[in-house]
Amino acid sequence: MNKVAIIGVGHTKFGRLEDKDLMELLSEASLKAIEDSNTDNKDFDSVYVGAMSPGIFNQLSGIASALVDKISLIPAAADHIKNGPASGGSAIKAGFQAIASGMSDLVLVVGGEKMTHITTPGYVTSNVATLTHPEAERRHGVSLPSFGGMLTRAYLEKYNAELDWISDIAIKNHKNGTLNQNAHFQRTIEDFMKSAIQKGKGSWDNVHDFLNDDKTNPVIADPLRLFHICPISDGSAALVLCNADNAKEFCDTPIIISGIGQATDTHIVYEREDITSLKALRTCSEQAYKMAKKEPQDIDVCEAHDAFSILEAIQSEDLGFFKKGEGAKAAHEGLTEIGGKIPINPSGGLKARGHPLGATGVAQVVELFWQLRGEAGKRQVEGAETGITCNFGGFGNNILSILVERI
Amino acid sequence: MNKVAIIGVGHTKFGRLEDKDLMELLSEASLKAIEDSNTDNKDFDSVYVGAMSPGIFNQLSGIASALVDKISLIPAAADHIKNGPASGGSAIKAGFQAIASGMSDLVLVVGGEKMTHITTPGYVTSNVATLTHPEAERRHGVSLPSFGGMLTRAYLEKYNAELDWISDIAIKNHKNGTLNQNAHFQRTIEDFMKSAIQKGKGSWDNVHDFLNDDKTNPVIADPLRLFHICPISDGSAALVLCNADNAKEFCDTPIIISGIGQATDTHIVYEREDITSLKALRTCSEQAYKMAKKEPQDIDVCEAHDAFSILEAIQSEDLGFFKKGEGAKAAHEGLTEIGGKIPINPSGGLKARGHPLGATGVAQVVELFWQLRGEAGKRQVEGAETGITCNFGGFGNNILSILVERI
């Protein structure tokens, strides 16, 4: 199997990007990655585009074919990879396999989504809810936030945890997001609180009081409140991959993709043995660790899929960093902050960097690329040499874990 | 690079399948392929699903994750591959690369689409038209059939060819379709003519008169008429792929995928040097021939993408079987019939087997699998050992060619 290196990355601003359409966002991230990788005049063999629902959100199909034309990579092969909110992770895996097999030597992987232009209430959430099981779940009105609420309640009860600890994950990620100029949100939750106080909307002694107040942080899916849930965002992120044997032609410090795992679980959530544990993540992270010959304790930095803050706690357990039931408490104790035992989501995560569905899995690896090259600025995890991701397609029924290393 | 073998196939009936939904069709083809491959109790590593627009046509996302659950292949990795009407071909390529890279040993590839339940006039055609360029083409009302008409006129004028020769391609494919129990249409065009005569709708001396009559064969996109255009169909087809080193564990006569090419061309059709020639097909078939160390004259049987009958003529040239401008005449002269110099679409092709978008690329390889194993019944191409496909994503701007061999 050929080794696969990342030699350049691109990342648009994430957020409410009113003046850019999906193809412009994909192009912007792609061209940044191509420039960053010094491959401007090279022939790309393949392009893989991760996006969840450009047909429904943007009335576009054939986006991969359209992109190669727009950024002048014809006649490169081009495919669109879909795996819900893990479309980006799956696109990376497709690009990895193209090079690992020897079918391609130089590959562009780009993920993106454009959603904030949709003004019909519930349109985005309803379409994302098509990931749930149509008969057993969706027809009863289940949406992904309702699963997030149910999972939070089950976890808090099973492990005697506190909702404030889940809030601490959101607080950390918003804090990290202020250190990331690409993040959707540029303010800490304390900033939001101070702003509300200044506007005379209330007075709180601390940020948890602010977060537990129905006026400022309404319940969305009991017990989850607004600040426990990621936003709807626009954005794109891209990677240039090449055969690692050639990587030094393009850059001094390539980052190697040394492990990739992907696993599925039951579509119907209630069929799982234990909803507070992600069997698919345990399986796929074991695959990634084994392939890279690493253990959880070898990991210096992690990008997790905190679409709901509870998920980061559970993922930190199923990735092997903490025992079952101890992830939320670990976050509360600061172990997952930058400078903590295992920094999780230094980028701000889905909560603060934002969650343009198909972009997320790629943005996670872009963040690890910067962290492992020591280029993450104010949010740098000192000495990071090895990182791992968790990227969620569906609600725990299709998960990828990608392990990267500086070698 | 690991060699990749096809060890079993599955194929549903194609047509207007009123009592089956998309997931049932994908399951049916998948389970047939698994049974055919003797892998019933084996652990699959990966599943790749090719489908063009299940979000728009069926309000489904996460179809790959849902399928692995439905057919009990958890925890196999699962991704949905999209490349317009070449989604099936791209899914095969993804499965090929998974095995060629060593990341997977046993892979299910399935393609499918379910469209005939949609009753809103123009809904399907409008959605397929999202493959065209939004500003340069779609906003002016361009649809794929209008491109088919334009291409036909350009070809007839440039090469002094006759529309009846294009009709001969449709006549041949309907005839072949009567030999394929899975085909959407089970009647020859002569059968349609005789039926119309019996119903007192007219009288014609021969099938070309029938096909040139506005009453029985209305103009859709001048000069293309109804019988020059493939139908909207439901259906699914599947392959089981494995590392060729292990293939003999499962079957006596595995078929090897020895070449795969994929290439793109300009999104905007008018930007191409010559619209009567498919540059992307010339590029990708050259890749496939080179990889397999074969030449066009080594090919015994071909499955082409005759969404419009003109496309089969042009593809037969760009695949290297005939000189430019001679494809339509060759079809007229019978060279592409079963028993001819190079039989094209013994299955009936998109015209008669039908065209459930995402299924087509997989169904093409299923047909070649049967042909190369001598299992194609009344439509068997005698002594066929090598076959090639052409699968179209968009209107010539993303094409795959897959070369298979019996070894």
HEC secondary structure over chain A: CCCEEEEEEEECCCECCCCCCHHHHHHHHHHHHHHHCCCCCCCCCEEEEECCCHHHHHCCCCHHHHHHHHCCCCCCEEEEEEECECHHHHHHHHHHHHHHCCCCCEEEEEEEECCCCCCCCCHHHHHHHHHCCCCCCHHHCCCHHHHHHHHHHHHHHHHCCCHHHHHHHHHHHHHHHCCCCCCCCCCCHHHHHHHHHHCCCCCCCCHHHHHCCCCCCCEEECCEEHHHECCCCEEEEEEEEEEHHHHHHCCCCCEEEEEEEEEECCCCHHHCCCCCCCHHHHHHHHHHHHHHCCCHHHCCEEECCCCEHHHHHHHHHHCCCCCCCCHHHHHHCCCCCCCCCCCECCCCHHHHCCCCHHHHHHHHHHHHHHHHCCCCHHHCCCCCCEEEECEEECCCCEEEEEEEEEC
Contact B294, B407 (CB under 8 A): no
DSSP β-bridge partners for residue B238:
B10, B110
Q: Averaged over A76-101, what is the pLDDT?
A: 98
Q: Is B212 exposed, middle or buried (0-12, 13-18, 19+ CB in 10 A)?
A: middle
Confidence (pLDDT) at A40 = 86
Contact A62, A32 (CB under 8 A): no
- Which residue has better confidence, B41 or B183? B183
**Measured between CB atoms, which of B53, B61, B74 is closest to A131?**
B61
Q: Averaged over B56-77, what is the pLDDT?
A: 95
Confidence (pLDDT) at A295 = 98
- Whole-angstrom CA distances from A26 to A13, A81, A109, B390 are 12, 14, 10, 28
pLDDT in tens, A215-250: 999 999 999 999 999 999 999 999 999 999 999 999
pLDDT in tens, A372-391: 999 999 999 999 999 999 99
Confidence (pLDDT) at B208 = 97
Confidence (pLDDT) at B220 = 95
Confidence (pLDDT) at B121 = 87
Q: Averaged over A361-378, what is the pLDDT?
A: 98
Confidence (pLDDT) at A382 = 98
pLDDT band of B122, cuts 50, 70, 90: confident
Kindly state whether B74 is in contact with chain A, defined as any CB-CB distance less than 8 angstroms: yes
Torsion on CA atoms B77, A344, A294, B1, rounded to nearest 10: 40
Kindly state whether A278 is in contact with chain B, defined as any CB-CB distance less than 8 angstroms: no
Confidence (pLDDT) at B216 = 93
Confidence (pLDDT) at A99 = 98
Looking at the predicted structure, is the pLDDT value of residue B40 above 90? no
Looking at the predicted structure, is the pLDDT value of residue B126 above 90? no
CA distance B22 to A89: 25
**Per-residue burial over B55-94, b = 16 or more CB atoms within 10 Å of its CB, e = otherwise:** bbbbebbbbbbbbbbbbebbbbbbbbbbbbbbbbbbbbbb
- Whole-angstrom CA distances from B342 to A7, A24, B346 are 46, 44, 10
Half-sphere exposure of residue A255, counting CA atoms within 13 Å on the CB side?
Answer: 28
In chain A, what are the domain boundaries?
4-119+233-249
pLDDT in tens, A31-71: 999 999 999 889 999 999 999 999 999 999 899 999 999 99
Confidence (pLDDT) at A121 = 87
Confidence (pLDDT) at A269 = 95
Looking at the predicted structure, is the pLDDT value of residue B18 above 90? yes
Q: Averaged over B102-111, what is the pLDDT?
A: 98
Kindly state whether A394 is in contact with chain B, defined as any CB-CB distance less than 8 angstroms: yes
DSSP annotation of B85 reads B
DSSP β-bridge partners for residue A241:
A6, A107
One-letter amino acid for residue B269 of the chain = V
pLDDT in tens, A157-201: 999 999 999 999 999 999 999 999 999 999 999 999 999 999 999
Looking at the predicted structure, is the pLDDT value of residue A407 above 90? no
Q: Do residue A103 and residue B97 have CB atoms under 8 angstroms apart?
A: yes
pLDDT band of A118, cuts 50, 70, 90: very high
- The ipTM of this complex is 0.97
Contact B14, B353 (CB under 8 A): yes
Alpha carbon of B404: minimum distance to chain A alpha carbons (Å): 16
pLDDT in tens, B221-268: 999 999 999 999 999 999 999 999 999 999 999 999 999 999 999 999
DSSP annotation of B109 reads E
Thinking of the domain B4-119+232-249, which architecture would CATH place it in?
3-Layer(aba) Sandwich (3.40)
**Measured between CB atoms, which of A56, A80, A81 is closest to B56?**
A56
Could you write out the DSSP letters of every residue in B33-62?
A: HHHHTT-TTSPP-EEEEE-S-HHHHHS---
Counting residues of chain A whose pLDDT is more than 90, the rounded percentage is 94
- Whole-angstrom CA distances from A316 to A5, A86, A328, A359, B322 are 26, 18, 9, 21, 60
Averaged confidence pLDDT in chain B: 96
Domain A4-119+233-249 fold is Peroxisomal Thiolase; Chain A, domain 1 (3.40.47)
CA distance B243 to B59: 35
Kindly state whether A102 is in contact with chain B, defined as any CB-CB distance less than 8 angstroms: yes
A121: preceding bond cis by omega (within 30 degrees): no
CA distance A59 to B123: 12
Q: What is the phi/psi pair of residue A386, to 5°?
A: -140, 135
Q: What is the phi/psi pair of residue A48, to 5°?
A: -120, 125
Closest residue by Cα to residue A122 from A150, A147, A149, A141: A141
Q: Which of B63, B105, B264 to mutate to test the interface with A (most CBs of A within 10 A)?
A: B264
What lies within 8 Å, CB to CB, of B261 at 6+ separation is B283, B284, B285, B286, B287, B288, B289, B291, B400, B401
Averaged confidence pLDDT in chain A: 96
Q: Averaged over B68-89, what is the pLDDT?
A: 97
Alpha carbon of B130: minimum distance to chain A alpha carbons (Å): 5
B residues 283..322 contacting A (CB < 8 A): 283-284
A346: preceding bond cis by omega (within 30 degrees): no
Kindly state whether A402 is in contact with chain B, defined as any CB-CB distance less than 8 angstroms: no
Looking at the predicted structure, is the pLDDT value of residue B407 above 90? no
